[in-house]
Amino acid sequence: MDSTERVRRTILGLPTDRQPIYGWVSANLTNELNEAYGSVAAFEDKYEFDMSHIFGGPGSFRGDVIERVRWENDELTPDLLLDEDIFTDPDNLADYRNIEDAMAFHKERGRFCYIQTPGFFEQFNGVFGIENQLLWLAMYPEELDELYRRQAEWTVKFAGHCIDLGIDMVHISDDWGAQRDLMFSPKLWREIIFPHMKRVVDYVHGRGCFCSLHSDGCIAKVTDGVAELGLDLVHPWQESAGMSYDLYLEKYRDTFAILGGICIQTVLGLVPQDELEREIRRVFGLLRGRRWVCCTTHFVQNHCSIADLAFAYDLIYKLARE
């Protein structure tokens, strides 16, 4: 069984030869991993990572247009963008060559490859800033709804090209949660995020591909909606933000898989190694054999030493095979 088959079967809740493992290790520790292992890829090979998180392809926004509108107005509000062509062309296939190259590398190792693609709230935070967009959700809900609809159109085309290249899963990144609650009301989520997310998920499923969600924070108030969307996997199911594994196991374990379990906010690089070991063993005790891919809850932070990272993955590697 290669890694692609192992992860696919885990997502579907089917028996596998072992628990799949992965980790978001590169963003903050690339230099340290290069020094210790020769490259990030060498670290991933050493621990036989089963997945690859691929970034690439065209960005969705035309930054020149957005900056012109920003410069021409005292304040950038959603209504000012409705008559502008702010989206790039997702059909320029030359923009996808970096995805092809990354997939070729990881498929040589049999890995399950998933591509990150924009969500809606998170994506427009880059345009308005998170504080402003939270305000605009109250003041300009119809205008944001239309911008999110256009983003969904772009994302469907982007996802289609990635599926044509053989991607295994489309991973929608759309942070909705604060540390203890949603950043907006469940009603608003249902009205102007759910419909556009549903369009993307249904398209991806219609092409025979998995579709997943990344959202930090506590999203417990909309997890029924996440299940209704038909998402196949959720990352990270953040226990440190009040997302109890008991809730997942009692209510959603037969609905979608989870990617995560190794908390970068409270554990990895933050506690002594004996406590780190206890925590990893606890999570394996809860989730082993479930629809779970062991992974970090986000990118490992640079307060984590290479010694602690290696200690964690030595143990994860062992437990995944028991």
Largest CA distance in the chain: 62
Name beta bridge partners: 211: 170
- pLDDT, residue 289, reads 96
pTM for the predicted model, two decimal places = 0.95
Q: Edge-to-edge strands of the sheet including 51-54?
A: 51-54, 112-118, 169-173, 210-214, 233-235, 257-262, 292-296
Question: How many CA within 13 A on the CB side of residue 188?
Answer: 19
The total of other beta-carbon atoms located within 10 Å of residue 94's CB is 6
Series of mean pLDDT values for 10-residue runs along the chain (322 residues): 98 98 95 97 98 97 97 96 97 97 97 96 96 96 98 98 98 95 96 98 98 97 97 96 96 97 96 98 97 97 96 98 94
CATH of the domain at 219: 3.20.20.210
- Read off the pLDDT of residues 172-216 as tens digits, 9 standing for 90 and up: 999 999 999 999 999 999 999 999 999 999 999 999 999 999 999
C-alpha torsion sign, points 154, 156, 160, 163: positive
User: How many structural domains is the chain composed of?
Assistant: 1
What type of residue is 148?
Answer: Y
Residues 17-40 as b/e (b if ≥16 CB within 10 A, e otherwise) read ebbbbbbbbbebbeebbeeebeeb
Range of the domain at 138: 3-320
- pLDDT, residue 110, reads 98
- pLDDT, residue 168, reads 98
- Whether residue 49 contacts residue 21, with contact meaning beta carbons closer than 8 Å, is answered with yes
